Amino acid sequence: MLIVMHHAASDADIARVNKTIKSMGLNPVSIPGAERTAIGVIGNKGWVDDSALKGDRAILEIIHVTKPYKLVSRDFHPSDTVVKLRGGKKIGGKAGFLVIAGPCAIEGRDQIFRTAEFLVKIGVPVLRAGAYKPRTSPHSFQGLREEGLKILADARKETGILTVTEVMSPEHVAVVAEHVDILQIGARNMQNYDLLTEVGKARKPVVLKRGLSATVEEWLASAEYILLGGNADVILCERGIRTFETATRNTADLAVIPLVREISHLPVIFDPSHATGKRSLVPAMALASVVAGAHGVMLEAHPNPEQALSDGPQSLHFVELEKLRKKLSGLELFMKKGLR
Ligand code: PEP
Ligand code: MN
């Protein structure tokens, strides 16, 4: 439920309405606006009987929200969320376009250190690399797990680079959060509600990938679990969806980027690697996401993609990443000056 207060409502009026909401066993969330204040109501499992509020003269309108998410919607939070990362970096709102790059999986110390050092050299601030890998086949490489986390933590310490890695089960959230700057929920786990609840308790930003066949509504409802748990630092990530088309690994649904920006205040990024599955398509799609309004990209790059233990065909060579990095910066500047 959303309560829109009259333009002239005083602090005392707002306090009275908040008290009534609490007496109904619900929680008020204040939504200050330039014109008037609104109060979001959370804590209800179904329809709310609003008769206790109906007669209040300071209330302009009572809107019953029927969507499965509230906290992630612009109705409840009109301004863009800007997620603060370690070292003063930010993502969301008008903060600059954020590039996250690195191998699909952590394969060893040399591979991760070479990648981290290269990223620092070309000005990519965040290293992605998986320690726990959700592989379709149990015969495929499953990741170095704890050993991988340690390698990533060492590279972070030595080079200062920010890091993001996937967490696959609720029991691992605490240990993964200790080792990296940003937690990642993979597409296959987007609807693992115990995991979402657990990262909701973590004090680290979370990249939430869209599920393979998830609707935007389901995706945002999953983000709602994390916000409801107390963690407001969620970054949505479109990574392509399952369709009838098999020419690309997934179908890049770039239209959801401006769509999600309309209906949610959360930052949204794009993963052109998993969306296409093909290295040659990655630069064009990464650039397209800037125009679509993405707040950043997360893409795969590897010192030797031909030898990669996972997702080599969609991983950029370092020289390709360096070229793309420059083009992304140029396009970002053009968009800022020319079109927005
Ligand atoms: C990944 O980023 O390495 C990954 C497994 O992606 P997704 O969950 O989108 O398939
Ligand atoms: Mn991958």
pLDDT recorded at residue 30? 85
Fold for 83-338, please state it. Answer: TIM Barrel (3.20.20)
Residues with Cβ within 6 A of ligand 1? 104, 130, 134, 186-188, 209, 239, 274
Q: How does DSSP assign 225-270, residue by residue?
A: HHHHTT---EEEEE--B--S--SSSSB--TTHHHHHHHHB-S-EEE
pLDDT recorded at residue 33? 79
Query: Ligand 1 centre from 274 Cα, in Å?
Result: 7
Domains 2-63 and 83-338 share a fold: no
pLDDT recorded at residue 66? 81
d(C-alpha 74, C-alpha 90), whole Å: 20
pLDDT recorded at residue 158? 98
Ligand 1 atom closest to the Cα of residue 274 is 9
Nearest residue (CA) to ligand 1, atom 10: 187
Query: Ligand 1 centre from 188 Cα, in Å?
Result: 8
Q: Specify which residues 91 forms β-bridges with.
A: 83
Q: Which ligand is nearest to the CA of 130?
A: 1
Query: 3-state DSSP call for residue 100?
Result: strand
pLDDT recorded at residue 289? 98
CATH number of 2-63: 3.30.70.1140
Contacts of 257 (CB under 8 A, 6+ apart): 238, 268, 270, 289, 292, 293, 294
pLDDT recorded at residue 223? 98
Task: Give residue limits of the domains in the chain.
Answer: 2-63, 83-338
- Walking along the chain (340 residues) 10 residues at a time, the average pLDDT comes out as 92 96 93 84 89 94 90 94 97 97 98 98 98 93 96 98 98 98 98 97 98 98 95 98 98 98 98 98 98 98 98 98 98 82
Query: 3-state DSSP call for residue 90?
Result: strand
pLDDT recorded at residue 294? 98
Ligand 1 atom closest to the Cα of residue 133 is 5
